[in-house]
Structure 1
Amino acid sequence: MHDTIPVAEIMVEDVVTASPDATVTEAATLLRAESVSSVIVVRDGDPAGILTEGDFATQLCERADLGHVAVRDVMSTPLTTIEPTASIVDAVDLLRTTDIEHLPVVSSAEATTGGDDDATPTEGDDAGELVGIVTTTELTYYVPQLVHRASESRQRPPRRRVRSDTLYERDDWDFEYRGADESTVSVGDVARFSKTLSDDDVEAFAEATGDTNRIHLDEAYAAETRFGGRIVHGVLANGLISAALARLPGVTIYLSQESSFRAPLSIGERATAVCEIVEDLDRAKYRIETAVFDGDDAIVLEGDAVVLVDDLPPMAARDGDAATTQ
């Protein structure tokens, strides 16, 4: 089992280090001479920061001359580290959640260990003894399916243009509309939209909205809450309702939405929004009962919405006719 293999068994013990007072030129020479992708910055025997190939690229874009700049001025800090006794699964999780590729291994109670401990970057006198480094390269040899899981999930199914009222669809999205006439909206019609809410979706939503609550992003933190693990943002789950309504015949304009959150939705679950038109409010306005279900058909949230449905603009109508004749 991967969770029984400690980081100490796969880490590189011969770590390339530099002083904070060294120049960036000296650090770059070390990278080339030692054929490594990072240099750990050590102050008074303790790891204090890191300088990676990515840091060099970033600094070159921001500074005209790096030759005589001190390493301390460009190193990444505070330093995120891991204990040698932590498992390689903990290392993979930590690399993914912090979006880094180099993880110094530090023998200290203060080091980040993943698993059940909080992720606490270390720096200076509190950093402990540097005993090695583990990177995505070493981890790939042991757990390629874990290391590549994030990049593979980003290889989404291709976009396809199949509707006149949405810009694109994806093969892993499902939409169904049940009504007497699919070209108009009527009481009794039902729209369903399904997709898997992936880790990438949650991270992108957090970045776009600023809602970086650790219950959604930090597995170790979330494990200690009442949910026992990370969950999807409630508003992101609610967004599936918007996706279903966007596919009603015509141009759907939200006027109001009320939702009651009934249960958490785990990351990676396929969720389904169901929207039923229950009342014609006149002047192209409709009241719609809304709900989202998880992969076990348990209700996650429910409520209702009021929307205004305009006719499609002439360009979209022409596009739809063209698609029909092809």
Structure 2
Amino acid sequence: MHDTISVAEIMVEDVVTAPPNATVTEAATLLRDEGVSSVLVVRDGDPEGIITEGDFVTQLCERRDLGHLELSAVMSSPLTTIEPTASIVDAVALLRSTDIEHLPVVSSPERTSETAADDGTGELVGIVTTTELTYYVPQLVHRATESREQPPQRRVRTDTLYERDDWEFEYRGADETAVSVGDVARFSKPISEDDVEAFASVTGDTNRVHLDAAYAAETRFGERIVHGVLANGIVSAALARLPGLTIYLSQESSFRAPLPIGTRATAVCEVVEDLGRSKYRIETDVLDGDGTTVLEGDAVVLIDDLPPAAARERDAAATGSSD
């Protein structure tokens, strides 16, 4: 159970630090050379602040001559810290409530409760970030990041509840109000780490090859990959946008190649056979961002008429566009 795992068990002990009078350029060099995302600012062994990759972006937008400034002028302070004996559930809750991604771990002889320390005083013993938490509790981290800004939803169709700006759909057919053999539907969207973590949480498929970078690096794939069923879901998204109300009857899929996380996946669905009684067989492919086929298969769908209210919405929209 997650509340039995302490922060000390997952924290990174080799913390990259710099003194307050170090320059921003020196800190940036540490980030690059050490391959980390933050530098703790420490004075006489006591942590005073932190500078992260996100801080560099913010500061670059606000200051022209950033490189020669001392870290004391740009660091985030005071620190939000946590005890090593606190649980990883406590860590997730704290990251969520403070909207941060880096949590220094500080041990203080005077502090006995397993709660966070807000002043950063005490002995610095490690750091825990959303990266480490993702390895162990991806579903908790996802809940912690649900409030992050998402692409805006748009209500532009009558057969889907909403669309997003980073989704793309294209339908090619002789009549875009009805399904016919030869029609092709294409739907694409980027598949992010949040998507993969959400899918794992909802379905329970927490296979580490999808969630644990260190674990996946030692597999035949060499990196984390998207769940195969999630890739198949891009096909479902394309079919949901066919003219009418699409009802899935069957799907056969063959997985040809892994789909990397962070790529734009595109489903290409071609209507190849009219089976009668509003049923159609459709060839389905999913391509990665380089155009490589990662999945291929066949689907059979039933196309019903839209419900009356949705049909009226469609007709009203069509009338409005022609006036």
Same fold (TM over 0.5): yes
CA distance in 2, matches of 1:154, 1:271: 22
Q: 1:223 to 1:275 in 2, by over 3 A?
A: same
8 Å CA contact 1:37, 1:53 repeated in 2 = no
Q: 1:309 to 1:48 in 2, by over 3 A?
A: same
Q: 1:155 to 1:52 in 2, by over 3 A?
A: closer
**What are the superposed Cα offsets for residues 207-228 of structure 1, whole Å, 9 maximum, x if unpaired?**
1111111111111111111111
Aligned to 1:169: 163
Aligned to 1:277: 271
CA distance in 1, matches of 2:92, 2:253: 47
1:203 aligns with 2:197: yes
1:214 aligns with 2:208: yes
Deviation at 1:298, TM superposition (A): 0.7
Q: 1:211 to 1:322 in 2, by over 3 A?
A: same
Other structure's SS at 1:302 match: strand
Aligned to 2:85: 48
Deviation at 1:10, TM superposition (A): 2.4
Aligned to 1:238: 232
8 Å CA contact 1:97, 1:218 repeated in 2 = no
Q: 1:158 to 1:206 in 2, by over 3 A?
A: same
Query: Structure 2: 5+ residue runs without aligned partners?
Result: 1-28, 49-77, 98-111, 117-123, 138-143
CA distance in 1, matches of 2:248, 2:171: 19
CA distance in 2, matches of 1:234, 1:296: 18
The TM-score, its normalising length taken from structure 2, stands at 0.62
Instruction: Show the 5 A alignment for 1:112-127.
Output: none
The percentage of counterpart residues that share the same residue type is 64
Aligned to 1:10: 40
**What are the superposed Cα offsets for residues 129-172 of structure 1, whole Å, 9 maximum, x if unpaired?**
xxxxxxxxxxxxxxxxxxxxx97994332111111111111111
Match of 1:217, as an amino acid? L
Other structure's SS at 1:308 match: strand
Aligned to 1:37: 80
CA distance in 2, matches of 1:175, 1:38: 45
Query: Structure 1: 5+ residue runs without aligned partners?
Result: 17-34, 41-46, 59-69, 76-81, 85-90, 100-118, 122-149
Aligned to 1:318: 312
Match of 2:40, as an amino acid? I
CA distance in 1, matches of 2:223, 2:309: 46
1:186 aligns with 2:183: no
Other structure's SS at 1:232 match: coil
RMSD between aligned residues? 3.6
8 Å CA contact 1:223, 1:229 repeated in 2 = yes
